[in-house]
Amino acid sequence: MTLFVQRFLLLGILGLVLNAPRLLGQTAQSRHFRSPPVQRITEHVVPEGYVETQLQAIEAPRPDGESVRAHLMRLRAEQRKRIPPREGFSAPNKTAMDSLSVSNGKYLFRTLPNGIEIPLFGGVPNDNSLAVSDGGILLLAFNSHIAGYDLNTGEDLFDLGKYPLGLIGQAFNGPSNHFYDPKVAYDPLRDRFVLAFLRGNTPSGSGVMLAFSQSNDPRDGWNVYVLPGNPLNNDRWTDFPTIAITESELIFTANFIIPGQPWQTGFDGSMIWQIGIDAGYAGDSTLDARLWYDIKHNGRFTRNVHAVQHGGHPDRKDLFLLSNRNFSLQNDTLFLLHLTGERNDPDTRLDVQALISDTPYGVPPFGRQSDTDTSDAGSGFDTNDGRVLGGFFVNDHLQFVSNTVDPQSGRSAVYHGLIEDPYGSPSVRGQIIGHERLDFGYPNVAWTGTEPCERQSMIGFNHSSPMDAAGCSALFYSDLGTYSPITYIARGEAHVDRMSGGYERWGDYFGLQRVYNRPGEVWASGYYGHSSEDNGIYSARIYSPDTLHLDWRITNTGGNANCEASVEVEAINGTDPITYSFNGGPAGSSNRSTGHCPGDTILVQMTDGSLCTRSEKVVIPLKDPGLTSRAYPVPADDLLISRLLLPASGTVDVQLSDLNGRELVLISERYASAGAHELQMNVAHLSAGTYFLKVFLNGKELSTDKVLIN
């Protein structure tokens, strides 16, 4: 299997001239809202006799008139003429790297009372979304349902394997019982879940449904609210949601749709809701929210605005969002939006600026199956357009992914973008990830680092080809900017045949989330083709390969009266060049500092080429040649006290042994900081005699003292 990362050529002199951010013509309006009263859902058993009905269409919901799909069909036909599909090309620049590890993989199923597992199928499209808690609750959302597992016990969260969104939103049916497009997220700051989905596809029935879990287990119930889907009362409805969590708010984005209009005029701008999140968890009577709308750049609407989640814990009040020219055959423009503060802060702004990428993107062709008519641009898996589908922000950079056409092969691929310095002078560069055989669609991306300076991430996506049944895959992006080979999360069993003819829905989303309390672990939820030719959902845990996390070992020679002690640092991993600083002095290449006295404290700092930094205080131990034991009193009757001076922080083990070698473990694997410590031991139960007290630091013997006990 071969992976390539293919860059487009620059757009020529024009692209070079425009390579700086453009800050022209940003506009947006906002107003405050308060939701209707909360409804509490505490039961997760589907009532006997409950009849669930769904009306599915090839493109539902959509504006009336000439559809977006019809427009995209014409664009794909033009794209095919520009970049004809090519087979059998050789993909260069494969990066040697350990493959990802996949575990706990399984398709969504229901367990019958007799123990038999039967597969559960997704909607059309799947709309996969995923959240996993630090405590091991995996919550899956897909078209019109939620499902999931307790990873500690393996049991299903819901008695029928899945639970309808209609029962969660039933108190707010209004004029519509149509619930769809769910998004689910885990809040690691509060150990709760958030579920957002849409109601209705007409101005009178449209609503934004928001559900906040009442505990860290969604089976304990939800606090459910609704915000208007036609908030400006101007004959619009809400479509295409995304969500993100900040320090104090839930951010919800979507599009305004005009009914009865063709695709060219059916879009009426994007919206951004800021919603108080703690009120939702507490079940307050109503929610306070602020709506941003009429969001434009140079007089044109920004389309399909996507909220960008903080890569680590959501501990910031501001948030970035992204948009692009998703209907373009080829375009290099990306819109960076910055929501600067909280909803009730009068100084909060929504800033919009356009950036020029060094790598253009474009409308992707359909993904192929074994029954795809390759001469028909409308046959195969629908990849929709080139909109941003996932992203995260960490420290000083932002990563995002979208669908695109691959100029090397003319097939559907992943666009992976990186924005540097979004708070200052942002710049964007992109790379196109394709394959010699597979088509890719609906990517998502999650951060896998532990230090804010790290840029490593996991990218997940659906895959298919005439030889490969629909499944899902992932790859790893390293701190060095290289990509791992593609790893299959799941290989499908057969091609999918849910729609009439050769057209199938493949998306519209891919579930991907890091496990916040276990860095390097990610859960994914993607598309899966069952042997029955139905579309299913496949979830799995993915582990990143070995990374370049910055680490070190610190040793010192100990002190003496002549102040000749030294401290030496050994770097483990990290990216070159690595520099060292001692006691705040200038950074340099020397990893050794000398001339220290007993009891001195030295601040050691190490910085690598990625500007990752580690610092620690090292204490030079005291050594008195005339002191045979640091334990007292001598002899001890009831209480024995030992003074310890740890030269560095780490794991401490303490053992007490008698003259026959019998050992008593006093302390095992206890973390302690550098410096002076006092160890107290009740020895009244021990036989009188001579003992040896041994102290180990990070597995190495630090000292052995002879002690006497009466």
Condensed to tens digits (0 to 9), the pLDDT of residues 479-506 reads 889 999 999 999 999 999 988 778 899 9
Q: Band of the pLDDT at 324, cuts 50, 70, 90?
A: very high
Both 640 and 498 in a single domain? no
**Lowest-confidence pick of 25-34, 398-407, 686-695:** 25-34
| Residue 468 resides in a domain | yes
434 pLDDT above the threshold of 70: yes
Q: Does the pLDDT at position 250 exceed 80?
A: yes
What pLDDT sits at residue 638?
A: 78
Rounded Cα distance between 574 and 234, Å, is 56
Residue 674: which CATH number?
Answer: 2.60.40.1930
pLDDT of residue 23: 41
Count the neighbouring beta carbons within 10 Å of the beta carbon of residue 131: 25
pLDDT at 58: 43
**Does residue 40 lie in a domain region?**
yes
Rounded mean pLDDT of 48-53? 68
Q: What is the pLDDT of residue 705?
A: 82
Q: What does the pLDDT read at residue 418?
A: 98
pLDDT tier, 560 (very low <50, low <70, confident <90, very high otherwise): low
pLDDT at 172: 93
**Confidence tier at 17 by pLDDT (50, 70, 90):** very low
**638 and 594 within one domain:** no
The answer as to whether 626 is a domain residue is: no
Answer whether residue 455 is part of any domain: yes
Does residue 624 lie in a domain region? Answer: no
- pLDDT score of 63: 39
- How confident is the model over 648-673, as a mean pLDDT? 82
Same domain membership, residue 516 and residue 469: yes
- Contact partners, residue 114, CB within 8 Å, separation at least 6: none
Question: Same domain for 409 and 514?
Answer: yes
Closest CA to 351 of 272, 256, 415: 272
Q: What is the pLDDT of residue 100?
A: 87
Task: Say which residue, 669 or 244, is predicted with more confidence.
Answer: 244
Going by the DSSP 8-state scheme, the letter that residue 157 receives in this structure is: S
Kind plus residue range of the DSSP H or E element containing 220? none
Min mean pLDDT across 265-274, 553-562, 636-645 is at 553-562
Residue 565 — very low, low, confident or very high, per pLDDT cuts 50/70/90?
Answer: confident
Pull the structure tokens for residue 379: 């046959």
User: Which band of pLDDT confidence, cut at 50, 70 and 90, is reported for residue 60?
Assistant: very low
Q: Are residues 615 and 637 in the same domain?
A: no
Please, what is the average pLDDT of the chain? Answer: 86
Residues 475 and 501 in one domain: yes
In a domain, 80, yes or no: yes
Residues 329 and 457 in one domain: yes
Domain count, the chain: 3
Say if 625 falls within a structural domain.
no
Alpha-carbon span 96 to 195, nearest angstrom: 39
Distance from the Cα of residue 92 to its chain's centroid: 29
Last residue of a domain, one of 619, 642, 660: 619
- Asked which of 1-10, 286-295, 376-385, 699-708 is least confident by mean pLDDT, the reply is 1-10
The answer to whether residues 556 and 538 belong to one domain is: no
Which of 495, 510, 543 is the last residue in one of the domains?
A: 543
Same domain, yes or no, for 194 and 75? yes
Q: What is the pLDDT of residue 22?
A: 40
Run of H or E including 48: none
Least confident of 180-194, 575-589, 644-658: 644-658
pLDDT on residue 461? 98
User: Cα 404 vs. chain centroid, distance in angstroms?
Assistant: 21
Q: Tell me: pLDDT of 64 over 60.
A: no
How confident is the model at residue 458, as a pLDDT? 96
Which of 362-371, 387-396, 636-645 has the lowest average pLDDT? 636-645
Q: Which CATH number does the domain housing residue 304 bear?
A: 2.130.10.10
Q: Would you list the DSSP string of 417-470?
A: EEEE-TTSS-EEEEEEEEESS-EEEEEEEEE--SSTT---EEEEEEEE-SSS-S
Query: What's the full length of the chain, in residues?
Result: 710
- Within this chain, do residues 455 and 584 fall inside the same structural domain, yes or no? no
The predicted model scores a pTM of 0.79
CA 542/CA 4 separation, integer angstroms: 21
Q: How confident is the model at residue 90 (pLDDT cuts 50, 70, 90)?
A: very low
Domain final residue, candidates 543, 562, 597? 543
Provide the pLDDT confidence category of residue 265 given band limits of 50, 70 and 90.
Answer: confident
Please tell me the predicted confidence (pLDDT) of residue 10: 29
CA dist list (Å): 404 to 136, 359, 468: 35, 11, 20
Whether residue 11 is found in the same domain as residue 151: yes
We report the CATH number of the domain holding residue 608 as 2.60.40
Instruction: Tell me the sheet residues that pair with 594.
Output: 566
Q: What is the pLDDT of residue 559?
A: 60
User: Residue 232 forms beta bridges with which residues?
Assistant: none
Q: Is residue 382 domain-resident?
A: yes
The beta strand positions in 282-361, using DSSP E, are: 288-297, 300-301, 306-310, 319-324, 331-339, 350-361
Residues 677 and 532 in one domain: no
Range of the domain at 432: 3-543
Predicted confidence band at 76 (pLDDT cuts at 50, 70, 90)?
Answer: confident
